[in-house]
C-alpha cells in the first residue's frame, strides 16, 4: 500500500481531516527544502506537495509563478530536486508528492523520471496539464513503480466525468475550488460546498479542496464538505515572510472540530 493510501486510511479511522501544504523546491535555495519539509511534518501536515519549477506553469497564479522564477534563477533543476528529496526521504515519514508539468518529465525521459522519483521516495504526482485521455503516457509506468497519480477535477467537470476520474485513483481526488489559476482568495462562492459534497458522493477516494485557500476560516469551511485541503500560495508567502507561527495556525485549523455551518 502506497504511503498516501495508508495516511488517508489512518485519517478515516480517526475521523480526521487532511492538510497538504505546497512548497516550491528551490525557492530560497534547494538547501532550505529539508528544513521546510521537516517543519511542515512536525506542524502536522498530512503530506507535502513539492512543486518543480517550470518556465510555463499554466495552472499557477502569481505567487507560485514568482516562487518558480526564484527557484529557476537559483539554478534548481528536476535532477537536483530528485537528488535532494532522496537525501531528505530517510528522515521524513509522511507522503511526498511532486506537482509538475509534462514538459520537464518528457525532457528528462518519462521512464527515467519515474524510476528516479521512485528511488527518491516520491509517493505521488500531480500533473495539471495531463487530462484523463492522455495519461496513458505516464500513469501505467507510475503505477508499476508504486507512485500514485493525483487527478484533478474542476467546478465545470460534469459528475459523470468526475466519477470516471475518481475511479482511476487510490490516493485522493484534488477538487479545484475556483475557475482559474492558483492564488489566495478572500471568499468562495456559496455553491462550492454543495459542489464538494456532490464530488464526495461519486468519489470512492478522499476528496481534498485546493486553489485559493488561505485562512483558517477557509480550512474549517472546506472541511465541512470534504476530506481536507491543499494550501499553496499562502504557505509560500508565509515562508517567505518568516511567519512560521501562521503556518502552524493554518495546519492546526484542520484539527479543530467545528459545528456545521
Active site residues: 49, 60
Coil, helix or strand for 37?
helix
Give residue 93's Cα distance to chain centre: 16
Q: How far is CA 51 from CA 48, 71, 78, 154, in A?
A: 10, 10, 10, 20
Q: How far is CA 79 from CA 105, 108, 191, in A?
A: 10, 8, 42
Nine cell digits for residue 2? 502506497
The CA distance from 113 to 108, in Å, is 6
Task: Name the nearest CA neighbour of 98 among 61, 62, 58, 148.
Answer: 148
**Neighbour tally for 83: CB within 10 Å:** 13
The CA distance from 74 to 224, in Å, is 40
What contacts 241, CB < 8 A, 6 or more positions away? none
The C-alpha angle 255, 48, 73, rounded to 5 degrees, equals: 135
Coil, helix or strand for 231?
strand
Residue with cell 480526521: 16
Amino acid at each position: 500500500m502506497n504511503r498516501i493510501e495508508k495516511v488517508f486510511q489512518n485519517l478515516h479511522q480517526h475521523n480526521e481531516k487532511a492538510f497538504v501544504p505546497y512548497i516550491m523546491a528551490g525557492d530560497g535555495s534547494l538547501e532550505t527544502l529539508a528544513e521546510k519539509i521537516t517543519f511542515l511534518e512536525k506542524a502536522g501536515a498530512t503530506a507535502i506537495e513539492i512543486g518543480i519549477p517550470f518556465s510555463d506553469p499554466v495552472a499557477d497564479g502569481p505567487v507560485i509563478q514568482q516562487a518558480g522564477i526564484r527557484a529557476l534563477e537559483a539554478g534548481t533543476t528536476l535532477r537536483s530536486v530528485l537528488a535532494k528529496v532522496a537525501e531528505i526521504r530517510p528522515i521524513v515519514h509522511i507522503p511526498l508528492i511532486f506537482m509538475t508539468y509534462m514538459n520537464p518529465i518528457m525532457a528528462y525521459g518519462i521512464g527515467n523520471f519515474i524510476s528516479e522519483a521512485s528511488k527518491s521516495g516520491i509517493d505521488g504526482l500531480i500533473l495539471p496539464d495531463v487530462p484523463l485521455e492522455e495519461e496513458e503516457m505516464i500513469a501505467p509506468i507510475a503505477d508499476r513503480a508504486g507512485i500514485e497519480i493525483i487527478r484533478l477535477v474542476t467546478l465545470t467537470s460534469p459528475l459523470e466525468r468526475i466519477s470516471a476520474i475518481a475511479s482511476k485513483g487510490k490516493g485522493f481526488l484534488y477538487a479545484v475550488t475556483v475557475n482559474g489559476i492558483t492564488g489566495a482568495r478572500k471568499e468562495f462562492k456559496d455553491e462550492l460546498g454543495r459542489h464538494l459534497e456532490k464530488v464526495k458522493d461519486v468519489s470512492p477516494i478522499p476528496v481534498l479542496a485546493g486553489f485559493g485557500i488561505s485562512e483558517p476560516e477557509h480550512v474549517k469551511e472546506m472541511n465541512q464538505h470534504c476530506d481536507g485541503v491543499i494550501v499553496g500560495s499562502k504557505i509560500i508567502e508565509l515562508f517567505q515572510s518568516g511567519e512560521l507561527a501562521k503556518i502552524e495556525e493554518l495546519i492546526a485549523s484542520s484539527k479543530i472540530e467545528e459545528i456545521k455551518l
